[in-house]
Amino acid sequence: MPRKTPLYRSGGAASSVPVPPAPRDASAAAADPTAAAATVMIGSDIYRASNHARGHPLAIPRVSLCIDLCRALGWLSPETYLESPQASVAELCRFHDPDYVAAVRRCELGQQASDEDRSRFNLGVNGNPVYAEMFRRPAMACGASLAGARRLVDRGGVVFNPAGGTHHGLSARASGFCIFNDPVLAILALLDAGLTRVFYLDVDAHFGDGVQLAFADEPRVFTLSIHEGGRWPMGREDAWTAALGGVYDRGGGTARNLPVPRELNDSEMAILLDAVVLPTIASFAPEAVVLQCGADALADDPMTKLSLSNGALWRVVAAVRGMAPRLLVLGGGGYNPWSVGRCWAGVWARLAGIAIPDRLPAAAEDLLRAVHWPHRRGREPAERWFTTLADPPNEGPVREDVLRLAAEAMRA
């Protein structure tokens, strides 16, 4: 039976399972030195040292668990793991309203939101609570995406920021657990550096509304979102959420949205990837791809109704990897700590050209067994969540709704 004692608490370091150091002879470099030199992860200890608001779906170890798993597996080295900078106020204001940024800082400093902060900026309400690092933590995620974008402009290659992917954030309003919008800031940095074709692909279970809205009238950016139809943000009054009613183009040919049916399986995702995603990227011929790889589309996630294995998402990552000279991969949603940590560790393996073992070594297994999931949606973990990275494949029939959606997307 799995251990009941919570050793690896959300946001905090393990009390009896040591965080493994980054080994200098990591197998990433040994397996493919060229890939390792051009492929880096950007992270920070802030995700271990801070804690989201108590009871919040994000009050679980996600980014820290991904990084620690990669270290336990020998997949990170000083050359492939970079410390994240924190985005400055000026950098955040490239997209976000200065009054909004000031309000977030004020809420963190005073640990409360005023009536105006709640009504005007959606802070302290609607899943966007006040907590100890509510400015610094998302600013760090934005700093990593900005650093990644600038590195890609200068060097090309691949950057993975598992803390990124906060795709709901609006210019002057928190939304959907997202305080700031790091994908928008990263894309703006790429455009500011002179790139003229940036492709944004979002495979989170939720519609990437904040990113599409930011670039709705920007022909240099193509946005494509695959998400569960009828799920939040469906029901908001904003016009762009009409995307959830069908394939939707609000960018003069540079936006596609695929609202997929519940229980989407690996076979159906493969059809969408091969028939829609890859041809659309190839046609746009991007100079950079930004991939938001939320883990809430997985069958083990407690807050959505899609049924993908992590292998389906890894296939997306591997397929997109060579389609542009620059690739920025971001995290996103995901509310089961085991499925998120294992999925994103596998994302790193696919990016860095590392073989994923059938059975995890003891150090990695100990990390996973020490995870504590206190949320009301938490459940007793399956044994395979401790011993493997790869989920069992979830192949199945391809439904007519999915085929029709793919055909409509390619006609749009």
Q: What percent of the chain has pLDDT over 90?
A: 79
Q: Which pLDDT score is estimated for 371?
A: 94
| pLDDT, tens digit, 9 for 90 and up, residues 237-294 | 234 444 444 566 655 679 999 999 999 999 999 999 999 999 999 999 999 999 999 9
Q: Which pLDDT score is estimated for 262?
A: 97
pLDDT band at 52 (very low <50, low <70, confident <90, very high): confident
12-21, 41-50, 191-200: range with lowest mean pLDDT: 12-21
- For the chain, give the mean pLDDT: 88
Q: Integer distance in angstroms from the first to the last C-alpha of the chain? A: 52
Residue 34 reports pLDDT greater than 50: no
At 10, list the tokens.
């959300």
Residue spans of alpha helices (H) in 19-160: 27-31, 33-38, 46-49, 63-72, 89-92, 98-110, 115-121, 136-155
Q: Which pLDDT score is estimated for 373?
A: 85
Q: Which long-range contacts (CB under 8 A, 24 or more apart) does 105-110 make?
A: 105/135, 107/134, 107/135, 108/132, 108/133, 108/134, 108/135, 108/136
Element (H or E) spanning 161, and its range? strand 157-161
Q: What percent of the chain has pLDDT over 70?
A: 86
CATH of domain 27-95+135-411: 3.40.800.20
Q: Which pLDDT score is estimated for 49?
A: 82
Q: Which pLDDT score is estimated for 396?
A: 98
**Residue 80: φ, ψ to 5°:** -105, -10
Element (H or E) spanning 310, and its range? helix 310-320
Q: Which pLDDT score is estimated for 377?
A: 75
pLDDT band at 4 (very low <50, low <70, confident <90, very high): very low
pLDDT band at 374 (very low <50, low <70, confident <90, very high): confident
Is residue 168 among the annotated active site residues?
Answer: yes
Using an 8 Å Cβ cutoff, are 17 and 367 in contact?
yes
Distance of alpha carbon 127 from alpha carbon 134, whole angstroms: 12
Q: What is the mean pLDDT of residues 152-170?
A: 97
4-18, 260-274, 297-311, 391-405: range with lowest mean pLDDT: 4-18
Residue 15 reports pLDDT greater than 90: no
| pLDDT, tens digit, 9 for 90 and up, residues 309-330 | 999 999 999 999 999 999 999 9
Q: Which pLDDT score is estimated for 251?
A: 55
Using an 8 Å Cβ cutoff, are 364 and 72 in contact?
yes
Q: Name the β-bridge partners of 308.
A: 298
Q: Which pLDDT score is estimated for 338?
A: 97
Distance of alpha carbon 332 from alpha carbon 197, whole angstroms: 23
Q: What is the mean pLDDT of residues 43-72?
A: 92
**Residue of 96, 168, 206, 372 marked active site:** 168
What ranges do the domains of the chain cover?
27-95+135-411
| pLDDT, tens digit, 9 for 90 and up, residues 352-361 | 999 999 999 9
| pLDDT, tens digit, 9 for 90 and up, residues 185-229 | 999 999 999 999 999 999 999 999 999 999 999 999 999 999 999
Residue 18 reports pLDDT greater than 80: no
**Interior/surface letters 235-244, b for 16+ CB within 10 angstroms, e for the rest:** eeeeebbebb
Using an 8 Å Cβ cutoff, are 181 and 332 in contact?
no
